[in-house]
Amino acid sequence: MNDAIMQFYAVRKRATEILKNAVHTGVLIRAKFCSQCGSTKYIQGHHEDYESPLLVEWLCCHCHHVRHKVRRYKSEADVRNGTCPCGCTFCFEKIA
């Protein structure tokens, strides 16, 4: 693994730990629902920029997965319409 990838993973891990500690200590409060679809199940913090660990969008597990696939591939419409190149069935589920 090259140094740039190692650094990326280190920054991502640090952002995740900072967010987890902020939620645990009450500095940040986890949202009760997904900002994308309104689901109340499995809410996770999504970082658009790992350099800003407390700036997150609260998404359900499904929308969080879709957001990362969109970042890697074509468009959200492609992922939601079942043309995600990863081939996983998770991307093909419809948002309730």
| Structure confidence by residue, pLDDT tens digits, 8-21 | 889 999 999 999 99
Total-model pTM: 0.69
The three-class DSSP label of residue 31 is coil
| Structure confidence by residue, pLDDT tens digits, 38-80 | 999 889 999 989 999 999 999 988 888 888 776 655 555 555 5
Instruction: Give the pLDDT score at 5.
Output: 84
Domain that holds residue 87: 3-92
The one-letter amino acid code at 30 reads R
Residue 22 has pLDDT above 60, yes or no: yes
In the chain, the DSSP E strands lie at 43-47, 56-60
Instruction: Give the pLDDT score at 1.
Output: 65
Number of domains in the chain: 1
Instruction: Tell which residue, 54, 55, 50, has the closest CA to residue 68.
Output: 50
